Chain A
Amino acid sequence: MQILLDIVSWVLLLAGSAFALIGAVGLIRFPDVYARMHASGITDTLGAGLILAGMMIQGGFTLVTAKLILILIFLLFTSPTSTYALANAAYSRGLQPLLGGPEPDPAALEAADPASAIPGQAESGSVGSVSGEDKSS
């Protein structure tokens, strides 16, 4: 029984770590601050949630588990609030999000609504120039 619990908790811990890592990769790959918030959202929700769930199974029915649940609840209330504050601050300072695809793929643009792609974005072309723009801002 103990070995089964250990296996389940390790699966959860590893899956949570994987999602946290994916969030970090997304933080680097996504082009601008607004898109990067989506990547950090993965680390905040499923990454942290799965790791906490894995630790709860290790803790069993103890006060430690109750504290872990409290941590999860606080995290689920505070992280969207801070993300909103960050997004709102960036937007209030006039930082415009990059809209449309960073790499204008004709098929993707056709599938989506063409009107929503900003002409300036379509000209900027490759991924490299978009990330260059981001650094300068």
Chain B
Amino acid sequence: MLHAASLGLVLFGTWLLLSGMYVPLLLTLGVVSCAAVVWVARRMDVVDHEGHPIQLGWRALIYWVWLGIEIVKSNISVARLILDPKLPIHPVLVTLKAGQQSELGQVIYANSITLTPGTVSIRINDNTILVHAVVKAYAEDLESGEMDRRVTGIEGSDPPQLLGSR
């Protein structure tokens, strides 16, 4: 129920931003259509900790700021590789352990790996991620496990409940 209410608020906020016309008729239509979407989403059983992860909270915001800085750093690093006349790349495949308890956490980790240029996650098995890195140093950066720890940290205060609670 909390998820549904939060989803409704987010939808209506998005609707207000995208519409920009604040007259009673359109506002009413907006409320009705948001309610209809929430109803359909609940019937589809997708309003949960995965479809609408409010449990991440403010820790996710801090993580995004850190991730943004990492993305900028690795962008500059890969751009240098591309512009280097010798193209000094040395691609490697590595298998990383994903320490997250929930599937959502693993998805956040794998997507973060892909978002930082220089590393792409190729496959997620039970709790390992196969990663292609364009230079060995990037793979070693990931193997140091800082991103893994940070994603595990934002995962929610009660991870055991997150696993298979559907």
B is bound to A: yes
Quick one: which of A25, A97, A116 contacts B136, CB cutoff 8 A? A116
> Cα distance A84–B82 when bound, in Å?
22
> Cα distance A30–B120 when bound, in Å?
14
Q: Which residues of A contact B75 (CB under 8 A)?
A: 19, 41-42, 45-46
> With an 8 A cutoff between CB atoms, is A108 at the interface?
yes
Interface string of A73-107 (1 = CB under 8 A from B): 00011011101100110011000011111110100
Let me know if A41 and B114 touch, CB within 8 A: yes
Quick one: which of B87, B92, B118, B122 contacts A127, CB cutoff 8 A? B87
Task: Number of B interface residues at 8 Å Cβ cutoff, please give it.
Answer: 37
Q: How far is the CB of B51 from chain A (nearest CB, A)?
A: 13
Q: How far is the CB of B114 from chain A (nearest CB, A)?
A: 4
Let me know if A70 and B14 touch, CB within 8 A: yes
> With an 8 A cutoff between CB atoms, is B29 at the interface?
no
Q: Which interface residue of B20, B72, B88, B122 has the most chain A CB atoms within 10 A? A: B122
Q: How far is the CB of A117 from chain B (nearest CB, A)?
A: 8
Q: Which interface residue of A38, A80, A101 has the most chain B CB atoms within 10 A? A: A38
Let me know if A39 and B115 touch, CB within 8 A: no
Let me know if B114 and A80 touch, CB within 8 A: yes
Q: Which residues of A contact B79 (CB under 8 A)?
A: 19, 22, 26, 42
What are 24 A-B contacts with C-beta separation under 8 Å?
A19-B75, A22-B82, A22-B83, A25-B82, A30-B82, A30-B89, A31-B89, A32-B91, A34-B122, A35-B134, A37-B120, A41-B114, A46-B71, A70-B17, A80-B112, A80-B114, A87-B122, A88-B122, A97-B132, A99-B93, A100-B91, A103-B87, A108-B90, A117-B90
Interface residues of chain B, those whose CB is within 8 Å of chain A, are: 14, 17-18, 20, 71-72, 75, 78-79, 81-83, 86-93, 110-112, 114-123, 130, 132, 134, 136
